Amino acid sequence: MKLELKNLSVTLSDKKILKSINLTVEDGEIISLLGASGCGKSTMLKTIAGLINQSEGSIILDGNIADKVPAHKRRTVIVFQDFRLFPNMTVWENVGFPLKILGVEKKQRREKALELLNKVKLEGYENRSVDELSGGQMQRVALARALAAEPTVLLLDEPFSSLDINLRKDMRELVLELQKEYKITTILVTHDQEEALTMSDRIAFMHSGQIEQYDTPENIFKNPVNTIVANYFSKGTYVDGEIINNKFVSELFTSNISKHNGKYKCLIRPLAVKVNKYNNSDFKVVSKIYQGDNYLLKIHNTKNNLRLESIISDSVDIAEGDRVNIELDKDRLIFIPEN
């Protein structure tokens, strides 16, 4: 189902939480709402679900305005980060609960619940109490329960945030597998950049109740519209300069780039900085930080106080205190116009 938000605003306790949001999610698409805590992501999800009323604008589901449609009739199902399972019910009863509300008989509810538990890889768990389950297993039950409601839009509110790294990876893969199988329009709320980049068809980056950029994962990472978006994905060093006739000119370097004339900030991320030993260089390695498969170098130019970072493999023989020569990978440089 296609979902559209048009000029959507939400005010709670006299504070404007969402400000004129315009967003389209195509049928069967999975998008992420990404941003820091308090930017309005979860409020948007709850408003779409009908749990919060908007103060302005419209929610359109499959071409029909849903503003006055009660939450239980929207078929927009939300999965919260705290699971919200019923402790007095067995696993299968939790999964079948939406069907019970719809008046489906017990035998059919159980059959559907067992089918969905098989989908989320919990076959054999149907008669257990939810108190016997791990966090990852409870998340799978919550997901199966959401699917039992046959949602036209699935809303995931930071569903993996309480899981450890390995479980999070497993759950991401499971959600993607089921989302593709059922072709459900899905919105994922997250503050995890990797989660958004790996799971989404598109990402809506939010800041202070507004969408700063709505784009594909690759474009939002490589072509951020401003420093707020850029810094969220990967921090680096900014160099001020100007583009004149398709050439960026700064005190540090020049680079050919096809962009409009004007003043820009060039973001130099660690992966754009290549280094090699050079004793007469003004650049000095002041710190070498082990990161598993690689090292992060913090580099200081002793002449102009410029600070850069670089990532090298663990096989490269560069130590703290070494002087290094710098080469910039111009394909990885990011040019952001100054507003």
Tens digit of pLDDT for each residue in 10-54? 999 999 999 999 999 999 999 999 999 999 999 999 999 999 999
Q: What single letter denotes the amino acid at residue 177? A: E
**What are 215-234's pLDDT values in tens digits?**
999 999 999 999 999 999 98
One DSSP character per residue, 129-155 reads BGGGS-HHHHHHHHHHHHHHT--SEEE
**What are 101-113's pLDDT values in tens digits?**
889 999 999 999 9
C-alpha 98/C-alpha 109 separation (Å) is 9
- Rounded to an integer, what is the distance from CA 233 to the centroid of its chain? 10
Crossing angle for the helix pair 91-101 and 106-119, nearest 10 degrees? 120
Domain ranges of the chain: 3-229, 234-337
Q: What is the mean pLDDT of the chain?
A: 94
Question: What pLDDT is recorded for position 161?
Answer: 84
Answer yes or no: pTM beyond 0.85. yes
Let me know if domain 234-337 sits in CATH 1.10.150.120. no
Is the fold of 3-229 the same as that of 234-337? no
DSSP state of 332: G
- Rounded to an integer, what is the distance from CA 114 to the centroid of its chain? 31
- Domain 3-229 classification at class level: alpha beta
**What are 229-262's pLDDT values in tens digits?**
999 998 899 999 999 999 999 988 899 999 999 9
